[in-house]
């Protein structure tokens, strides 16, 4: 069993604690979050019922939470959220924009509460031209979350016109520090590229860290290899989107990732049949 930071998914307040317990497994302290907010940025992810069918699959697979925009969440059967948490994403921007790093608030914490959400998330690009506005929005949402007892997931990235290449581990640790200082309850970060350097980020951060899956991997097995490497750093969870809903078999990949996050290691995904029977303690 991999060691998880004792700070993972720590309870911070009564209202937040109750909602956080739906996002982070109360036994393992870990979480598998599947973000599906991409359609605002890149366009449709599938057929009109894609969100509903995919969320159903994720709930069956054992994912802990899904991230959706508030309008998209209305097209998902609420029954699926009896088995998994809903995180409503408050930020938006498109790849058609003159500034693809700009993010604006398109929803509020009160909207998420009316939908029955368990948390909200925001996206902040540090290094963008609009960094000041995004930080101000972050601070305002954070204060509202504290008032209403709503957990806040901050998706922090180093992106902007003066940047190129992978951010350094020091920069990723800086992003984690910003999320902590501005009041986030969890933070989503890019992977540093190595277990050892990711662990230094974990060691520097007092709030739970979920690591992004990045671009679509070449194979489903490559997704599991990446997940294992990340989890060995002691992070609180994974936030894999395209590598789950874009997988050749989303149910198998999501099931395998859920098992890994919560302390089991599956065999290769190309052996699709009898997956549960071949899980072994990591």
- Taking the mean position of all CA atoms in its chain, how far away is CA 111? 20
| pTM for the full predicted model | 0.89
Q: Dihedrals φ, ψ of 209, to 5°?
A: -110, 130
The parent domain of residue 206 ranges over 14-281
**Is residue 7 a part of any domain in this protein?**
no
- Whether 130 maps to a domain, the answer reads yes
Residue 6 lies in a domain: no
Residue 5 lies in a domain: no
Q: Specify if 4 maps to a domain.
A: no
User: What tens-digit pLDDT sequence spans the chain (282 residues)?
Assistant: 445 554 555 544 468 999 999 999 989 999 999 999 999 999 999 899 999 999 999 999 999 999 999 999 999 999 999 999 999 999 999 999 999 999 999 999 999 999 999 999 999 999 999 999 999 999 999 999 999 999 999 999 999 988 888 899 999 999 999 999 999 999 999 999 999 999 999 999 999 999 999 999 999 999 999 999 999 999 999 999 999 999 999 999 999 999 999 986 554 444 433 344 334 434
Residue 164 inside a domain? The answer is: yes
**DSSP output for 83-117:** SSEEEEE-EE--TTSS-TT--EE-S-HHHHHHHT-
Active site residues: 37, 157, 188
Could you count the other beta carbons within 10 Å of the beta carbon of residue 259? 21
Please report whether residue 2 resides in a domain: no
CA 277/CA 162 separation, integer angstroms: 49
Domains identified in the chain, total number: 1
State the Cα–Cα distance between residues 203 and 236, nearest whole angstrom: 12
Residue 187 sits in a domain of what CATH number? 3.20.20.70
Distance CA(75)–CA(208), nearest Å, equals 30
Instruction: Tell me, yes or no, whether 3 lies in a domain.
Output: no
User: Whose CA is closest to 197, among 211, 216, 185?
Assistant: 211
């Amino acid at each position: 069993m991999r060691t998880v930071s004792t700070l993972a998914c720590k309870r911070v307040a009564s209202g937040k604690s109750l909602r956080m317990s739906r996002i982070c497994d109360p036994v393992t302290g870990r979480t598998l979050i599947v973000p599906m907010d991409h359609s605002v940025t890149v366009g449709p992810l599938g057929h009109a019922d894609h969100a509903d069918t995919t969320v159903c699959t994720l709930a069956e697979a054992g994912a802990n939470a899904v991230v959706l925009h508030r309008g998209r969440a209305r097209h998902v059967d609420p029954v699926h959220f009896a088995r998994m948490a809903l995180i409503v994403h408050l930020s938006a921007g498109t790849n058609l924009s003159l500034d693809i790093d700009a993010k604006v608030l398109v929803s509020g914490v009160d909207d998420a509460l009316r939908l029955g959400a368990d948390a909200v998330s925001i996206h902040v690009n540090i290094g963008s031209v609009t960094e000041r506005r995004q930080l101000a929005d972050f601070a305002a949402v954070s204060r509202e979350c504290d008032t209403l007892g709503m957990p806040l997931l901050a998706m922090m990235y180093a992106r902007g016109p003066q940047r190129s290449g992978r951010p350094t581990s020091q920069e990723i640790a800086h992003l984690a520090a910003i999320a902590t200082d501005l009041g986030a309850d969890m933070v989503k970060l890019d992977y540093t590229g190595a277990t050892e350097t990711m662990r230094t980020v974990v060691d520097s951060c007092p709030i739970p860290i979920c690591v992004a899956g990045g671009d679509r991997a070449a194979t489903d097995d490559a997704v599991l290899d990446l997940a294992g490497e990340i989890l060995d750093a002691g992070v609180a969870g994974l936030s894999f989107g395209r590598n789950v809903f874009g997988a050749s078999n989303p149910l198998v990949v999501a099931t395998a990732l859920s098992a890994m996050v919560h302390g089991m290691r599956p065999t290769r995904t190309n052996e699709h049949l009898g997956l549960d029977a071949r899980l072994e303690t990591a």
